[in-house]
Amino acid sequence: MQWFLFLSDMMIPMVIFGIVCYGVLRKVDVYDTFIQGANSGFHTVIKIMPTMIALMVAVGILRASGFLELLSEMAGKVSGYIGFPGELVPLSVVKMFSSSAATGLLLDLYKEFGTDSEIGLIASISMACTETIFYTISVYFMTAKVRKSRYTLTGALLATAAGLAASVALAGWMKS
């Protein structure tokens, strides 16, 4: 077990060291290449910042307005029939926009229901098997200048639904 802990601690430094060694062997000016990459990354952050700010503000407004609680009550009546607790609807909706805001909701659920409750288990698993759809689409497509997304949103929503169904099934299996 100690060997695995050592290996996991050394994985990132070994990868970085390997990249530097490879660059030196290929006679690449590693430092200048690193600086160019950092500069490019900085410019990318500047380009996507308005989108990120807009998403954070939108999630904050949804949370503060009480819309998520209303959505939870309305959708909870329907989702309860298929085994998905209504208390998790706001988490699932917010996760599509912001993972950090969803983490805040997840902690609230843990405080209210507990981490080992059915709701806590489903929430934990769903956080791991769903994606921040709208964040990913807006940021990456904007950066890559993708104009025609075709079936991306439909596929992402179907994958999220499958992830949510899997989280309910896995939580039920774990509790039994």
In a domain, 25, yes or no: no
In this predicted model, what pLDDT tens digit does every residue of 44-93 receive, in sequence order? 888 888 877 887 788 788 878 988 788 778 887 888 788 888 889 889 98
How many other C-beta atoms are found inside a 10 Å radius of the C-beta of residue 147?
6
- The mean pLDDT value for 36-44 works out to 91
N-to-C CA span, the chain:
29
The model's pTM: 0.69
Number of structural domains found in the chain: 1
Instruction: Tell me whether residue 40 is in a domain.
Output: no
In a domain, 101, yes or no: yes
One-letter amino acid of 145: K
In a domain, 7, yes or no: no
101 neighbors 133 (Cβ within 8 angstroms): no
CB 44 within 8 A of CB 143: yes
Residue 110, pLDDT score? 95
10 in any annotated domain: no
Please check whether residue 145 lies inside any domain of the structure.
yes
Per-residue pLDDT reduced to its tens digit, 81-127 = 888 888 898 899 889 888 888 888 899 999 999 999 999 999 999 99
Establish if 65 belongs to a structural domain: yes
Q: What radius of gyration do the chain's Cα atoms show?
A: 21
SS3 176: coil
Q: Residue 87: inside a domain, yes or no? A: yes
User: Which range marks the domain in which residue 115 is found?
Assistant: 48-175
Per residue in 116-174, pLDDT (tens digit) is: 999 999 999 999 999 889 888 877 787 788 878 788 889 999 999 999 999 999 998 88
